[in-house]
Amino acid sequence: MNQTDYIVIGSGVAGLRAALELARGGEVAVLTKDRIDESNTEYAQGGVAVALSDDDEMALHVEDTLNAGAGLCDESAVRVLVEEGPRYITELIDWGAEFDRKDGELSFTREAAHSRNRILHARGDSTGSEIVRSLLAHTRREPKITFLAHAATLELIVEGGRCTGVQYIDPNESLVREMRARAVILATGGAGQIYAQTTNPEVATGDGISMAYTAGAIVSDLEFVQFHPTVLSAPGAPRFLLSEALRGEGARLRNHAGETFMKNYDPREELAPRDIVSRSIAAEMNRTNSYWVYLDLTHLEADFLRQRFPKIHMTCLRYGLDLTKDQIPVSPAAHYIMGGVRTDTEGRTNLPGLYAAGEVACTGVHGANRLASNSLLEGLVFGARAGAAALEESSSFTLANLSEHEPIDISQSDWMFDPQTRYRVQELMWRKVGLIRHQDELKAALIELTDLAAQAYNSRTRNFATLARLITLAALWREESRGAHYRADFNDRNDTDWLVHSAQQIDQPIHGIPKN
């Protein structure tokens, strides 16, 4: 296959929903760098936020999202998310998604910074997995959609000022091939693997953001990286996310002396927004000279915990910890990037032919700090909108006169990550561009990351180091603290000078764009 109507890169919630929309008017190729069902969506535990319960209102969901975003949400994007969300969740249920119910009715719970119980979950703590299952089942019934797994995308092809395709690794041969299409939709997910400590799977390396930037697209708000406050921190255990819903159900945070401490940092205590809880934990760890704090659920009913959080319960048991009896050691880790490829609410980038949706995109919907469980809803709503826009605007574009290229024979070292560069980038980002930032450390990191990007000997390694450099540059540029971006040397929020989105485009200086 060297030509199709539409290309979707990524098979999480945004990519699958976009593919279904595109298949209404053409052939669609979905490229993934790993298995078809391996994405950040698969690992989402907490749930999906939607204003569907009887005691909820869309206006309240909008207000909660705006409040969590620390003044930087684009309200028009937030209203699209919230107002169209119920439609797409209902559609998903019609397609077979099985959310948890009580007495036959959908069961809603609450998470941090939500004013109502509006979080739908599936199998307790496997919501993302259930959404992927139902979307994949529906997608596989669509004959116009073809999946190409283990086909890592290396670069976007731009001709005549338009994105016309991709370069990718043939999964069956050691060849770089080109595939052309009327439009390309990026749905490559997040970038948590940029950091040494992360909840994200191995595939979350931020390639889509870097590829779009290199191709000429604007990237925005990359300084806003959300660190999840409660990640398993037991010796020998993986950095496994312990869902926000645990605190929503009553879990308390305690220090090594057994004291609850969140009341000392925020009146909302454990239900404060994620950035506040993460920094509070970091401050308490520093104050008590410890490597973790404890998440305590032992006061809650044991059978309830086992039924409500089966996956988390079983994972902790695997490492000698019982949610119902033990306090669980936790500390923050990189989790979600609010910034990405700048788009409008239809998924359009500034580069014709290129669209983006999901975590790779930046619509302004999350502002400086994502409200818990808005990300799955974002993937559904904006994945569908990006697919619809690409279909409407690109159907008449012809590929007839585009140049053809022969496949390029390569070795594994030409496209696999350079492990030394990857490790160095991760350590730099964790130590110098992490939860708490300072000008001197940011400047030092920027110098080294610029060198690492320039010296990278293949495109995947260069993309990785380039994204780290872009995040660092944005963090250095924003001389205030807002949402997930905290500067120890500028620790106040400054709406007078900084109520703007950061914007970066290749060969242009970083600058601000007013929020909508």
Concatenated DSSP letters of 355-393 = EE-GGGEE-SSSTTSPPTTHHHHHHHHHHHHHHHHHHHH
* Residue 380 neighbours by CB under 8 Å, 6+ apart: 13, 14, 17, 48, 85, 88, 89, 92, 131
Q: What percent of the chain has pLDDT over 90?
A: 79
Placement of tokens 């708490």 in the chain: 436
Concatenated DSSP letters of 280-348 = HHHHHHHHTT-S-EEEE-TTS-HHHHHHHSHHHHHHHHHTT--TTTSPEEEEEEEEEES-EEE--TT-B
pLDDT at 396: 84
Please, which pLDDT band fits residue 399 given cuts at 50, 70 and 90?
confident
Please, which pLDDT band fits residue 412 given cuts at 50, 70 and 90?
low
Give the model confidence (pLDDT) of 171-203 as tens digits. Answer: 888 788 999 999 999 999 999 999 999 999 888
Give the model confidence (pLDDT) of 466-509 as tens digits. Answer: 999 999 999 999 999 999 999 999 999 999 999 999 999 999 99
Mean pLDDT of 249-265: 96
The alpha carbon torsion through 184, 188, 190, 195 (nearest 10 deg) reads -110
Please, which pLDDT band fits residue 235 given cuts at 50, 70 and 90?
confident
pLDDT at 129: 85
Q: Please list the active-site residues.
A: 274
Which domains, and CATH codes, for the chain?
Answer: 229-332 (3.90.700.10), 410-514 (1.20.58.100)
Phi-psi region of 165 (alpha: psi -120 to 50; beta: other; left: phi over 0): left
Angle, CA of 293, 295 and 298, to the nearest 5°: 135
Give the model confidence (pLDDT) of 305-335 as tens digits. Answer: 999 898 899 999 999 999 999 999 999 999 9
On the question of pLDDT at 89 being above 60, the answer is: yes
Estimate the crossing angle of helix 459-477 against helix 439-455, to 10 degrees.
160
On the question of pLDDT at 41 being above 60, the answer is: no
Question: What letters, b where the CB count within 10 A reaches 16 and e where it falls short, cover 23-41?
Answer: bebbbbbbbbbeebbbbbb
Structure tokens at 308: 């409500």
Question: For the chain, what is the mean pLDDT?
Answer: 92
pLDDT at 38: 58
Give the model confidence (pLDDT) of 416-431 as tens digits. Answer: 788 999 999 999 999 9
pLDDT at 402: 55
pLDDT at 415: 67
On the question of pLDDT at 208 being above 90, the answer is: yes
- Of the two residues 220 and 458, the one the predictor is more confident about is 220
On the question of pLDDT at 211 being above 60, the answer is: yes
Helix (H, G, I), strand (E, B) or coil at 134: helix
Mean pLDDT of 357-378: 95
- What distance, in Å, lies between the first and last C-alpha atoms of the chain? 41
Give the model confidence (pLDDT) of 134-180 as tens digits. Answer: 999 999 999 999 999 999 999 999 999 999 999 999 888 878 899 99
Give the model confidence (pLDDT) of 269-278 as tens digits. Answer: 998 888 889 9
Structure tokens at 482: 């807002």
pTM of the shown model = 0.92
Q: What percent of the chain has pLDDT over 70?
A: 95
